Amino acid sequence: MQSRRNLLLTAFLAASLLVCGATYQLALRRALADQQGQGAAQLQIVALDLESILQKYETLPFALGFQADVRQVLADPGDAAAVDRLNRAFKIIQQQSRAVHIFMLDAGGMTLASSNWDEEFSFVGRDFGFRPYFREAIQGRAGRFYGIGNISSEPGYFIAQPIYRRPDQAPSTPSAPPIGVVVVKVDLAEFEHTWRSSEAPIALTDGGGVVFLSNRQQWKYHSLDQLSGTQQRELEGTHQYADLPITPVAALPATLREGFGPHVARPVTQLGWQLRLFPSQARMMRSATLATLAAALCMLALGISLLAWYQHRSRMQERRQSRAALQRAALELDQKIALRTQELTAANQAIAARFEKLQQTESLLRTTQNELVQAGKLAMLGQMAAGVTHELNQPLAAIRAFADNSVKFLARGQTEQVAENLEHISSASANMGKIIGQLKGFARKSGGQVAQVELPHAIEAAVLLLARDIEQQGATVTREVRHCAHILGDAVRIEQVLVNLLRNALDAVEEAPVKQVRVLLDIEHGQAVLRIRDSGGGISDEVAPHLFEPFFTTKAGSRGLGLGLAISSSIVQAMNGQLSAHNHEQGGAEFVLRLPLLQAPGP
């Protein structure tokens, strides 16, 4: 991005330089063309001006040829009076016409009369036969010439006209050559002054390209080009420029030839003169520089506009990109949200399905539990029925046997045996009554009132009921009440459970060296916990699985019916409690009774 920008900047700078360079060249060319156009116009004015000045004097020598004394003096140069009159007339006319000099030459080029006859450098008696204007005029043509006077050393324009013997003779009649020549010298310095205001150099050159009038004084009497040998010799012959060495302007020192170069030229007069104007190069360069500056400013404005446009475009592009990125991000977010929503919905559905399954499982569990309870009850009932049948069958069979025997003994009259059998029958039926009594206790759901039961009192009541047995056995029953726990239940049934557990403990310690039973009441995990631990032999692995089964007993004879723990467990379960048993780590069995608390326990 950066390098591209640098490349563009470099290209733009190069283009700007090219444009400026081209503008400079074009403007220079244009300025040159303008200057040339203006110069040509200016030259036209100058040329007209010059030609009108020269025209003014053109006819003066011709008119002077008609002076009364002209022919007299030419006929008799020794006529001093005539010469004097002519000299004075020439002076007056010279002063009036503002010519520099007016003088007359004879056919040999000798000056016979002159307007400066009375001055130091009088022309009178001077020979100007070598001058081209004389040579032209004596051949019957008007002589025109610009040169530096070899007497006065002043430059001037010479106009010469031939004089014929007869004033009315037509010029250039071959039969009668001119007898003399009248010459008027005009000063063009005043005309030259009018060029001073021009910034551009103006030069008037002769047919040979020698500058003789110019607003650059240092160029005067220097040629535009190197003069040829012929031209040099010609100048020497005519003394046109007082034998000054004519060198090219281009050979002058740089400061002196300043402004010399391409120019516009216009011919003036029929003498091969050329008016030349050198357009001001400084001005051309100024206007070219101004045009270049304008171009540079335009390029700068263009550059700034391009930069602004480029920045605007980059900003727009960045904005577009960020908008697109935002849209992409929003789209991605939408997609993610949709995906997450889908996942969540799926998870929700899965949870709902699982919840439903759980509910189904729970209800199934409940059903199963109920069924199990029911099955358990039925199983227990079956067991009990089997037990009852078994327990009752024996005495019943004995009773029948004794009764049958009694009938036989009666028939034989053996009354003593009958009485003995009846005693056996009575004992067996008592035994049966005992079993039925026990079963009644088991079958009866609740005989007493459900009320608040203070467990410490229940413990004391149970211990009191067994006080005789304890004493007979020589056992000790210690009680420890860590928390006075209250429960809701039937106090008689609770005592029945406690009596069962304590009796079993006493049975267990009967043969033990130490006969110790410990009762501990506490509260654990918001439940009343009653532990009855004995110092007996503990519960063997064979016995443990059948502890709470009805009619399971290890006790011999009529000492045990095997219903105590089964009934106790049933009572405790009816109170939402739990009865469990295990061997204590320090020996002996420990039965744990857990019951829900009624209220916050006292200490």
Which of helix, strand or coil describes residue 275? Answer: strand
Instruction: Select from 154, 201, 159, 204 the least CA-distant residue to 50.
Output: 204
Q: Which CB, 123 or 552, lies closer to ligand ADP?
A: 552
Q: Is 508 in the site for ligand ADP (CB under 6 A)?
A: yes
Q: Which CB, 302 or 543, lies closer to ligand ADP?
A: 543
Please give the C-alpha separations between residue 162 and each of 39, 99, 261, in angstroms, as whole numbers.
Answer: 38, 18, 41
| Residue 125 contacts residue 109 (beta carbons within 8 Å) | no
Least CB distance from residue 482 to ligand ADP, whole Å? 22
Q: Which CB, 109 or 562, lies closer to ligand ADP?
A: 562
Least CB distance from residue 558 to ligand ADP, whole Å? 9
Give the containing element (helix H, strand E) for 527. strand 527-534
Least CB distance from residue 354 to ligand ADP, whole Å? 44
Q: Is 384 in the site for ligand ADP (CB under 6 A)?
A: no
Is the Cα dihedral 415, 417, 419, 421 positive or negative?
Answer: negative
Q: Which CB, 28 or 563, lies closer to ligand ADP?
A: 563
Binding residues for ligand ADP, rule CB under 6 A, total 21
Least CB distance from residue 439 to ligand ADP, whole Å? 13
Q: Which CB, 379 or 422, lies closer to ligand ADP?
A: 379
Q: Which residue is nearest to ligand ADP (CB)?
A: 564
Phi-psi region of 243 (alpha: psi -120 to 50; beta: other; left: phi over 0): left
Q: Which CB, 437 or 526, lies closer to ligand ADP?
A: 437
Q: Which CB, 196 or 559, lies closer to ligand ADP?
A: 559
Q: Is 441 in the site for ligand ADP (CB under 6 A)?
A: no
Q: 589-596 and 578-583 as β-strands: parallel, antiparallel, unpaired?
A: antiparallel
Q: Which CB, 310 or 548, lies closer to ligand ADP?
A: 548
Beta bridge partner(s), residue 111? 105
Least CB distance from residue 562 to ligand ADP, whole Å? 4
Least CB distance from residue 587 to ligand ADP, whole Å? 11
Q: Which CB, 150 or 553, lies closer to ligand ADP?
A: 553
| Residue 182 contacts residue 70 (beta carbons within 8 Å) | yes
Please give the C-alpha separations between residue 298 and each of 6, 76, 289, 313, 552, in angstroms, as whole numbers.
Answer: 21, 83, 14, 22, 122
Least CB distance from residue 473 to ligand ADP, whole Å? 13
For 297, half-sphere exposure in the C-beta direction (CA atoms, 13 angstrom radius) is 6
Least CB distance from residue 397 to ligand ADP, whole Å? 22
- Distance between CA 533 and CA 521 in Å, rounded? 12
Among 35, 504, 535, 570, binds ligand ADP (CB under 6 A): 504
| Residue 156 contacts residue 123 (beta carbons within 8 Å) | no
511-550 footprint of ligand ADP as x/- string (CB under 6 A): -----------------------x-x--x---x---x---
Please give the C-alpha separations between residue 420 and each of 345, 403, 414, 416, 448, in angstroms, as whole numbers.
Answer: 88, 11, 10, 6, 41
362, 364, 367, 370 alpha-carbon torsion, rounded to 10°: -60
Least CB distance from residue 502 to ligand ADP, whole Å? 9
Identify which range of 115-123, 248-256, 363-371, 502-510 contacts ligand ADP by CB under 6 A: 502-510
Q: Cα 492 to the chain's mean position, in Å?
A: 91
Structure tokens at 548: 């709470």
Is the Cα dihedral 156, 159, 162, 166 positive or negative?
Answer: negative
Q: Is 580 in the site for ligand ADP (CB under 6 A)?
A: no
Phi-psi region of 386 (alpha: psi -120 to 50; beta: other; left: phi over 0): alpha
Residues in region 364-383 near ligand ADP by CB under 6 A: none
Least CB distance from residue 503 to ligand ADP, whole Å? 7
Q: Which CB, 182 or 435, lies closer to ligand ADP?
A: 435
Residues in region 549-568 near ligand ADP by CB under 6 A: 552-555, 560-566
- Would you give the DSSP letter of residue 244? -
Least CB distance from residue 532 to ligand ADP, whole Å? 8
Q: Is 122 in the site for ligand ADP (CB under 6 A)?
A: no
Residue type present at position 175: S
Q: Is 589 in the site for ligand ADP (CB under 6 A)?
A: yes
Q: Is 327 exposed, middle or buried (0-12, 13-18, 19+ CB in 10 A)?
A: exposed
Residues that bind ligand ADP (CB under 6 A): 500, 504-505, 508, 534, 536, 539, 543, 547, 552-555, 560-566, 589
